[in-house]
A = this chain, B = another copy of it.
Amino acid sequence: MGMVGGGRGAFIGGVHRIAAAIDQQIELVCGAFSSDPEKSRLSGEDFYLPADRVYGSYEEMILREKELPEGERMDFISIVTPNHVHFGPAKLALENGFHVVCDKPLAFSVDEARQLVDLVEKSGLVFALTHNYTGYPMVKQARAMIREGKLGKIRKVVVEYPQGWLANAKEETDNKQASWRTDPSKSGLGGAMGDIGTHAENLAEYVTNLKITEVCADLTAFVEGRRLDDDANILLHFEGGAKGVLHCSQIAVGEENGLNIRVWGETGGLEWHQQEPNTLIYKRHEQPAIHYRTGVGELDPAAVAAQRVPPPGHPEGYLEAFANIYKNFAATVRARMEGREPTDIESDFPTVYDGLRGMRFVEVVVENSRSGEKWSRL
């Protein structure tokens, strides 16, 4: 693995490195950790990399690694830069034969996203987008139960993602994370929408196996001077007639990472909370609820495979869920190397198509919110 971004002072880069390391199947072999070559060099030292595998730019990394002998050069790049620096390295990597792991959202614009889809399709390379919340075992269990019809036809979905960390104008302090996320030139069209709204959208579609078809949105920038939305309330229509609500916020004071989803079908319901991710509540009509737990009883193979500590009651957390994206991505890359099709479990990770949907979702939601239109098609 070669990493783009994630040098000293970054946040998500460290998460990716842990996620890649946990299963001891992926090695960080090179990186362009910062647009500042000196900072990149120092970060490389932090990670015990040889000096000649630490590059001053992603272009340099990709082109130089390509020259290395197979078996020695990196197998894929991991892009952990702010949103506006996803497209460049992703494109160059795909053009030069490297598989890609990319942080979400996929790109800066729908147009960029479409180009990446084309490149993936042409190159046949493996592309993973780290919508990490779908990596939790109980999310996979939920998806499986819905696919198997345990809820009957889906009628209603409520997905929410309140956070509170941007309740004040943190971007006016020296908080790097806040600064780029609230800057349209770096974040793109969406503020909270791009940062966490796409996670909620992706989770809803992943769990229900249904696509959102129409949205009616009400976006707000509550903090004075903020140029991108920090709060969103959205009505949803799904294919097949299901309805729903998505709300997310970064000004919900005191909230941590409150990603929650509830789904009700004709014969059952499911409820899952990211902050207590090892429980999945299965609701039944006029019968008591069953509380599924990671590792307890018979679970879907995808949920079982997503679990690292077999005995139940040892909580698996965010990093393990994140690692599951890397694990399945790596297994798929390996399958390709071995000339075979990856299994369903191996190929169970978000791809460039999820990325394009997310970009499109943000675009439509932002436009709808600005317009007087009630419903906009996705």
Contact = CB atoms under 8 A, between A and B. Distances in A.
Contacts of A253: 151, 264-269, 283-285
Nearest to A217: B235
A22 interface: yes
B291 A252 contact: no
Contact of A251 (B22, B164, B264): B264
Task: State the oligomeric state as a number of copies.
Answer: 4
A285 to B, nearest CB: 5
Contacts of A264: 162, 164, 167, 249, 251-255
Interface stretch (A108-116, A183-191, A311-319, A333-341): A311-319
Contacts of A310: 11
Given A235-B233, A285-B254, A314 B311 contact: no
Bin the interface of chain A by size: 35 or more
B251 A243 contact: no
A286 B296 contact: yes
Which of A22, A158, A266, A313 counts the most chain B CB atoms within 10 A? Answer: A313
Contacts of A15: 309
A287 interface: yes
Given A269-B252, A290-B288, A374-B373, A22 B313 contact: no
Contact of A218 (B47, B235, B276): B235
A86 interface: no
A371 to B, nearest CB: 8
